[in-house]
Amino acid sequence: MEPDNDAPPGAGAWAPGKVAELLGVSPVTLRSWSARYGIGPPAGAGRHRRYSDADVRRLQHMQRLVARGMPVREAAEAAFGRSPAGLEVPASRRARELTEAADELRYASVAGLLDETLGTLGPAAAWTEVLAPVLRGLGDRWQRGDVCFASEWALTSEISLAFERFSRRFPAAVPGRPVLLACCPAERHSLPVEALRATLAEAAVPVAYLGQLVPAETVADLAARLDPVLVVLWSTAPATADDLLAARIRALGCAVGTAGPGWEHLGDRGFRWVNDLASAVELAVEHAGA
Ligand code: B12
């Protein structure tokens, strides 16, 4: 379906009728969404009302959220990244809504809020400003004896899926030697690495992501066969920082970066160590020559 071109310059390209047809809703429904949730071009534009490509993409996203059981108003807010009043949603409110939805195991809302946060802020800001604070909050609650395992597992699995959905927006196979990302063999904490992967996907840096608990043999085998520009080994806790593996990968002739607080106690072992998302992105981009 093609957008029509008889609109004045600067207006979006999609006439309401075309959008309604594309979404499979009646023009009346579309108009009511516009009136009720402030979606799309202002009513005042009369017969020149046009929807932009971004409007159409967000409407399709809103429909997916509704199809997953989210109330229309919440889906409109999530898809258009704002409350009805048009205000940008502060990170603290996103964090609160996400924690509440996770605690109440409202999976559809968790997924919708994550997609909206990633879509609006991008993976780096979403991780640093919203997701990491929420996860730290969960960790602190756990430390205080608040048994929030259900929320933690619900949220962490949905965060992984949301990063996956976000990364799939970009071409899967970016040409070039990849940055190989792996958690150390005994390390299950992968979310910071998934945030890095999504940020590199957005930056068109080729990545091969291996996930959690990656056996040393597997990292070594893939490093030998993929000829990566850099191998990043992640560790959260000192017990999982595998410096023998790092040395083994370096002996294969690969550049090795160690990432995460788990490596801190080892001091300088001749590997670049990064302990925040921005520095890890910089290290990867530097090696990828992007
Ligand atoms: C989510 C989570 C899990 C999930 C992981 C799911 C997944 N796919 O990742 C599950 C439920 C599987 C899990 C399991 C366990 N967990 Co856990 N987990 C967490 C939690 C809540 C968040 C982890 C996270 O992503 N942190 C990253 C961000 C949010 O934390 P941060 O402090 O802002 O980040 C610091 C660095 O990581 C760095 N950073 C942040 N983002 C990025 C990004 C990049 C690219 C880089 C380079 C750096 C970086 O900057 C910050 C300052 O140093 C933490 C609590 C916490 N505060 O981190 C506990 C926590 C890490 N877990 C802990 C523990 C003990 C465990 C278990 C052993 C529990 C158990 N008995 O089973 C197992 C261990 C499993 C294993 N073998 O690794 C402890 C670790 C204590 C320690 N240091 O040893 C913590 C701190 C909880 C606590 N409060 O005690 N966990």
- Which of 31-40, 91-100, 156-165 comes out lowest in average pLDDT? 31-40
CA of 189 to the centre of ligand 1 (A): 5
Instruction: Tell me whether residue 162 is exposed, middle or buried, using C-beta atoms within 10 angstroms of its C-beta: 0 to 12, 13 to 18, 19 or more.
Output: buried
What pLDDT does residue 131 have?
A: 97
What pLDDT does residue 15 have?
A: 85
- Beta carbon of 21 within 6 Å of any ligand 1 atom: no
CA of 195 to the centre of ligand 1 (A): 13
- Beta carbon of 190 within 6 Å of any ligand 1 atom: yes
Q: pLDDT tier at 11 (50, 70, 90 boundaries)?
A: low
What pLDDT does residue 47 have?
A: 62
What pLDDT does residue 212 have?
A: 97
What pLDDT does residue 237 have?
A: 96
- Beta carbon of 189 within 6 Å of any ligand 1 atom: yes
What pLDDT does residue 172 have?
A: 66
What pLDDT does residue 259 have?
A: 98
Nearest to 178 by CA among 212, 204, 215: 204
- Beta carbon of 129 within 6 Å of any ligand 1 atom: no
Q: Average pLDDT for residues 75-98, to the nearest whole number?
A: 73
What pLDDT does residue 31 have?
A: 75
- Beta carbon of 18 within 6 Å of any ligand 1 atom: no
Q: Which atom of ligand 1 is nearest to the CA of 127?
A: 41
Q: Please, what are the domains in the chain? A: 16-80 (1.10.1660.10), 91-166 (1.10.1240.10), 179-288 (3.40.50.280)
Kindly state the percentage of the chain with pLDDT values over 70: 88
For ligand 1, atom 81, name the residue with the nearest CA.
237
What pLDDT does residue 254 have?
A: 96
For ligand 1, atom 60, name the residue with the nearest CA.
139
What pLDDT does residue 128 have?
A: 95
Give pairs for 15-21: CB < 8 Å, separation 24+. Answer: 15/49, 15/50, 15/51, 16/40, 16/49, 16/51, 19/51, 19/55, 19/56, 19/59
Q: Name the token pair of 197.
A: 């992967």
Q: What is the pLDDT of residues 237-274, one digit of tens each?
A: 999 999 999 999 999 999 999 999 999 999 888 999 99
Q: What is the pTM of this model?
A: 0.79
CA of 12 to the centre of ligand 1 (A): 44
Q: What is the pLDDT of residues 60-79, one digit of tens each?
A: 778 777 776 777 777 777 77
Higher pLDDT, 41 or 190: 190
Higher pLDDT, 87 or 52: 52
Nearest to 119 by CA among 57, 30, 209: 57
Q: Which atom of ligand 1 is nearest to the CA of 156?
A: 6
Instruction: Tell me whether residue 19 is exposed, middle or buried, using C-beta atoms within 10 angstroms of its C-beta: 0 to 12, 13 to 18, 19 or more.
Output: buried
CA of 28 to the centre of ligand 1 (A): 48
For ligand 1, atom 16, name the residue with the nearest CA.
189
Q: What is the pLDDT of residues 188-223, one digit of tens each?
A: 999 999 999 999 988 889 999 999 999 999 999 999
For ligand 1, atom 29, name the residue with the nearest CA.
132
* pLDDT exceeds cutoff 80 at 54: no
- Beta carbon of 261 within 6 Å of any ligand 1 atom: yes
